[in-house]
C-alpha cells in the first residue's frame, strides 16, 4: 500500500509513522520545513484523564460543557477514552513530558473549564515543540517514509469519485491508495492570530474544491490572550491556570462580573469579555496580571513566554502585560467520522483540518493535541481496514504508477482535477478585483471575528465575492473566507465561539452541526 500524508504536525507525523510501521510506503509532504507546523507553537499542553483523582467521564463532561451543545458525543467519548493510551504511546516514542520532581510522576496543570488538573506539559510551556521533536525523530528513522519538504499541495486528484493522489504546486502528480490530510488550521484568515504563516487552510480548501463535505465552518476559536504586540504571540491559558488575572484600564478584574469562573471561564466567554472591555476603553488592550506569581516561578514554569515577553521589553513579573484576543483554532473543517473518514472515498483527515464534532462550538483547552493523536491513530487503522480487493476503492499498483508517470494518464488526471473547480474560478469568469492577504485578514477580523452581525457578514460576503487572487495560499484563504462568512450568516444565533450581536442567545432548534459541500460538487 502507498499512503500520502500531507502535513507535518502531530497528526501528520503520527499518521506517517504508524502507516509505515504497518508496512505501507509513505510519502510525507509538507509545504515548509518539517517543524513548521501549528504543533510546534502549542504551549499549554495535552489533556488526558491519567490521574487517580480524574476520570474519563469527567473529561467527557468538561468537553461537552465547553462545546455549547454541539459536540458529537461519540467522538468525545472516543477522544477521552482513548486519549490516555495515545499519551502513553507518545511517551514511548520519546516525548519528554515534565515531571513533578526528581523521580516523581508526570507534572500536570489546570486550565480553563477543566474540572481537574489533567494538562501534561513539556519544557514548561513548550509542549508542542517537544512532541514535534520526538515525532520528527521517529519519522526520520523510518525507512518506509519519504519526506518531501517545501512541497505545497495544489489540488487533490479524483477519479470516479475517489481520491487517488495529490497534485503539488510544481505540477507533479503523486498517486496513492490513501491520502491523509493533516494540514492544520487557517489562522491566517485573520489579522490577529497565534498561528504561524503556514496556517492557510490548504488541506481544507483543496478538499472543498474536490467536493468533500465541510462542517461547522462558522466556529473559529479566538484565544483570549495574545500579546498585544506585532506577531500576536500566544500567552498560554496555563498562565491564568496558575493564577494570573485580567484587568481593565482601571485595574479592575472585569471577568468576575462576566462569569462565575472569571478568568478560567470557557475561551469564547473570556475572549468576548475582553473584546467588550476593549471596546469600552476605546480599543485599548486589557492587561494580564501575573505579578503575583513572581519572577522565578514565571521563568521556571513558562520559560518560552518569559523569554518572549522580556524580548519585547516587558517585565511581566513587575507589571501587567497588554493582551488581546487572536484567532487560534478552527473547530470547523473537513467533515469526518470517528475514524477520520471524509465524504470522499480514499481521503482521510486528522488534526485541526478535520471536523470530527469533538469540539462542538468551542474547543476545551488542550484537547487539540489529544485530538490529533487519537484521530490520526484511528484514521491509520481505518485505512488499513479497507478491503484491498475492493475495486474502485483502492488504487492498484499499476494505476498508481500511471498517475505518477508522464504521458496521457497524467494529462487526464490533471484535467479531472481542474474540472472539480468552481466555474467562477476559471480565469475568464473570475471577478476582476484583485486582493492581497492583508485586505482579506482585516475584512475577516472586522466582520467575521470575535463578534459578528448579519449586516457585517453580508458586507463581508459582498466584498469577498468581488475579489480574486492568483497566489495559491491566498486563493485557499479566499475560498475558506467565503465558506466561513456564509456559514456564519446561516447560523442566526450565538453559540460557543460564534457570537452574533443581532442574535445574542442560543436557539435550541439550531443545536445541530451543519455539513455542506461545494455547490455543484459531484455526489460521493
Write the pLDDT tens digit of every residue in 187-245.
999 999 999 999 999 999 999 999 999 999 999 999 999 999 988 999 998 899 999 99
**Residue extents of the structural domains in the chain:** 2-219+331-390, 224-327, 425-516
What mean pLDDT is predicted for residues 287-294? Answer: 98
Over range 409-419, report the average pLDDT: 41
Contact status, residue 182 vs residue 376, Cβ threshold 8 Å? yes
At residue 522, the pLDDT reads 60
Higher pLDDT, 261 or 406: 261
Calculate what percentage of the chain has a pLDDT beyond 90.
Answer: 84
Write down the pLDDT at residue 332.
98
Q: Which of 2, 240, 267, 495 is catalytic?
A: 267
Higher pLDDT, 401 or 21: 21
Above pLDDT 70, what percent of the chain? 90
* Residue 394 predicted with pLDDT over 50: no
Mean pLDDT of 13-27: 98
* CB-based burial label for 163 (10 Å; 0-12, 13-18, 19+): buried
Q: Does position 410 have pLDDT exceeding 50, yes or no?
A: no
Q: What is the pLDDT of residue 484?
A: 98
**pLDDT confidence bin for 506, thresholds 50/70/90:** very high
Most confident range, picked from 118-127, 404-413, 422-431: 118-127
According to the model, what pLDDT value does residue 401 have? 55
pLDDT-based confidence at residue 398 (cuts at 50, 70, 90): low
Collect contacts of 309-314 with beta carbons under 8 A, ≥24 apart.
309/227, 309/235, 312/227, 312/229, 312/233
**From the CB of residue 413, how many other CB atoms can be counted at a distance below 10 Å?**
22
Q: Is 60 exceeded by the pLDDT of residue 378?
A: yes
pLDDT at 402 (0 to 100): 56
Q: Closest Cα partner for 487 from 501, 503, 498, 471?
A: 498
Burial class, 106, CB count within 10 angstroms (exposed 0-12 / middle 13-18 / buried 19+): middle
Q: Examine the pLDDT at 386 and tell me if it is beyond 80.
A: no
pTM metric for this prediction:
0.90
Chain segment 466-486, per-residue pLDDT in tens: 999 999 999 999 999 999 999
- Listed range (1-10, 12-21, 143-152, 433-442) with the worst mean pLDDT: 433-442
267 catalytic, yes or no? Answer: yes
More confident residue, 428 or 103: 103
Residue linked to cell 457570537: 499
Task: Please determine, for residue 521, whether its predicted confidence score (pLDDT) is greater than 90.
Answer: no
CATH number of 2-219+331-390: 3.50.50.60
pLDDT at 421 over 90: no
Class in CATH terms, 224-327: alpha beta
Query: Is the confidence at residue 284, as pLDDT, over 70?
Result: yes
The answer for 32, left when phi > 0, alpha when psi is -120 to 50, beta otherwise, is beta
Residues 6+ positions from 494 with CB-CB distance below 8 Å = 500, 503, 504, 505, 506
All three cell numbers of 382: 481505518
On the question of pLDDT at 511 being above 80, the answer is yes
CA distance 422 to 425: 5
Architecture of 425-516 per CATH? Answer: Up-down Bundle (1.20)
Residue 95 pLDDT > 50 = yes
Amino acid at each position: 500500500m502507498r499512503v500520502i500524508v500531507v502535513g507535518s504536525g502531530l497528526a501528520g507525523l503520527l499518521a506517517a509513522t504508524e502507516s509505515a510501521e504497518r508496512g505501507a510506503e509513505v510519502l510525507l509532504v509538507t509545504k515548509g520545513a518539517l517543524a513548521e507546523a501549528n504543533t510546534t507553537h502549542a504551549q499549554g499542553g495535552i489533556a488526558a484523564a491519567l490521574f487517580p483523582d480524574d476520570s474519563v467521564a469527567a473529561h467527557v463532561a468538561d468537553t461537552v460543557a465547553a462545546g455549547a451543545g454541539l459536540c458529537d458525543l461519540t467522538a468525545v467519548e472516543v477522544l477521552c477514552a482513548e486519549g490516555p493510551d495515545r499519551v502513553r504511546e507518545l511517551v514511548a516514542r520519546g516525548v519528554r513530558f515534565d515531571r513533578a520532581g526528581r523521580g516523581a510522576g508526570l507534572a500536570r496543570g489546570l486550565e480553563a473549564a477543566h474540572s481537574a488538573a489533567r494538562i501534561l506539559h513539556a519544557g514548561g510551556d513548550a509542549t508542542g515543540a517537544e512532541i514535534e521533536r520526538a515525532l520528527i525523530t521517529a519519522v526520520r528513522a523510518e525507512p518506509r517514509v519519504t519526506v518531501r519538504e517545501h512541497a505545497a499541495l495544489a489540488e487533490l486528484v479524483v477519479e470516479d469519485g475517489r481520491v487517488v493522489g495529490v497534485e503539488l504546486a510544481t505540477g507533479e502528480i503523486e498517486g496513492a491508495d490513501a491520502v491523509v490530510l493533516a494540514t492544520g488550521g487557517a489562522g491566517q484568515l485573520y489579522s490577529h492570530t497565534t498561528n504561524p504563516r503556514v496556517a492557510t487552510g490548504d488541506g481544507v480548501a483543496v478538499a472543498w474544491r474536490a467536493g468533500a463535505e465541510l462542517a461547522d465552518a462558522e466556529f473559529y476559536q479566538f484565544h483570549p490572550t495574545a500579546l498585544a504586540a506585532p506577531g500576536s504571540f500566544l500567552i498560554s491559558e496555563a498562565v491564568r491556570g496558575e493564577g494570573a488575572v485580567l484587568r481593565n484600564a482601571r485595574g479592575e478584574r472585569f471577568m468576575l462580573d462576566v462569569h462565575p469562573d472569571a478568568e478560567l471561564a470557557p475561551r469564547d466567554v473570556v475572549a468576548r469579555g475582553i473584546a467588550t472591555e476593549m471596546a469600552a476603553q476605546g480599543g485599548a488592550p486589557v492587561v494580564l496580571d501575573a505579578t503575583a506569581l513572581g519572577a522565578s516561578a514565571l521563568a521556571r514554569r513558562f520559560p518560552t513566554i518569559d523569554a518572549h515577553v522580556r524580548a519585547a521589553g516587558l517585565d511581566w513579573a513587575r507589571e501587567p502585560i497588554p493582551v488581546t484576543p487572536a484567532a487560534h483554532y478552527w473547530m470547523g473543517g473537513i467533515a469526518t467520522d470517528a475514524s477520520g473518514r471524509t465524504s470522499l472515498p480514499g481521503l482521510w483527515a486528522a488534526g485541526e483540518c478535520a471536523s470530527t464534532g469533538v469540539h462542538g462550538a468551542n474547543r476545551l483547552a488542550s484537547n487539540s493535541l489529544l485530538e490529533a493523536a487519537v484521530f490520526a491513530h484511528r484514521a491509520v487503522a481505518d485505512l488499513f481496514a479497507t478491503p484491498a480487493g475492493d475495486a474502485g476503492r483502492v488504487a492498484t499498483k499499476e494505476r498508481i504508477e500511471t498517475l505518477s508517470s508522464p504521458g496521457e494518464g497524467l494529462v487526464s488526471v490533471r484535467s479531472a482535477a481542474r474540472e472539480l473547480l468552481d466555474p467562477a474560478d476559471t480565469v475568464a469568469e473570475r471577478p476582476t478585483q484583485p486582493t492581497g492577504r492583508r485586505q482579506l485578514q482585516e475584512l475577516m477580523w472586522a466582520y467575521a471575528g470575535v463578534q459578528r452581525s448579519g449586516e457585517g457578514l453580508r458586507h463581508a460576503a459582498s466584498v469577498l465575492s468581488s475579489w480574486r487572487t492568483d497566489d495559491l495560499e491566498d486563493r485557499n484563504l479566499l475560498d475558506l473566507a467565503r465558506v466561513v462568512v456564509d456559514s456564519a450568516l446561516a447560523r442566526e444565533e450565538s453559540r460557543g465561539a460564534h457570537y452574533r450581536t443581532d442574535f445574542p442567545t442560543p436557539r435550541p432548534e439550531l443545536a445541530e452541526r451543519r455539513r455542506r459541500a461545494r455547490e455543484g460538487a459531484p455526489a460521493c
